């Protein structure tokens, strides 16, 4: 079973997307802030990380940068899942090494799950 780490501070979103992904047959571990997300990425070695950008304690850009710097975690594909939509944010996240950038408001759970599947297949 593929393991997904979902770093997101909005608990309602944590619940809905986690439930959906679990139904689709994934194992989901949750982090509600950047720091614990980074720690879980290092200890749990997930197959994929879903990362929000606006997070308490450490923002998503910083988490992404630290993930990419660490040889133990830099191979884990990261999907950004956020509501920030400015070109500079998208550019910055992709430059730092994110695989895909999804704007929550424009995607359904089904579509997010499909993207997850696609990235895991790569």
Partner 1 sequence: MLKILKKIFNALNPLTPCKKYGLSVWECPQFLFLLIGIIIIGVILATYFIAAFKIGDPFMVSLIVLMIAAILIVIDYIITNSFERIAEASRMKTEFISVVSHQLRTPLTNLKYSLEILTSRNFREIGKKEKEYFEILEENIKRMGDLINDLLTVSRIETGRLPLKKRMVSLEEITKKIIQKFKSYAEAANVKVEFEAEKDLPRVSADPLWLEQVVENLLDNAIRYTKDQGEVKIKIYKDSKRIYFEIQDNGVGIPKEEQKFIFQKFFRAQNVLKYQTKGSGLGLHITKRILELMGGKIWFKSKEGEGSTFYFTLPIKRS
Q: How many residues form the binding site for partner 1 (CB under 8 A)?
A: 19
Nearer CB in complex with partner 1: 22/39 = 22
56 binds partner 1 (CB under 8 A): no
Q: Contacting partner 1 (CB under 8 A), which of 25, 71, 86, 121? A: 86
| Strands of 78-82's sheet in order across | 27-31, 3-7, 48-51, 78-82, 100-103
**H helices then E strands: how many in the chain?**
5, 5
Site string for partner 1, 87-116 (x = CB under 8 A): x----------------xx--xxx------
Shortest distance, CB of residue 54 to partner 1, whole angstroms?
7
Helix axes 11-23, 109-121, angle to 10 degrees: 60
């Amino acid at each position: 079973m593929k393991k997904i780490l979902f770093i997101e501070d909005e608990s309602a979103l944590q619940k809905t997307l986690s439930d959906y992904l679990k139904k689709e047959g994934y194992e989901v571990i949750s982090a509600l802030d950047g720091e614990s997300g980074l720690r879980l990425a290092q200890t749990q070695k997930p197959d994929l990380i879903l990362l929000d950008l606006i997070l308490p304690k450490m923002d998503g850009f910083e988490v992404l940068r630290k993930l990419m710097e660490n040889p133990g975690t830099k191979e884990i594909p990261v999907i950004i899942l956020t509501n920030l939509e400015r070109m500079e944010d998208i550019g910055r996240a992709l430059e730092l090494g994110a695989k895909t950038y999804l704007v929550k408001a424009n995607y359904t759970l089904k579509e997010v799950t499909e993207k997850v599947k696609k990235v895991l297949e790569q």
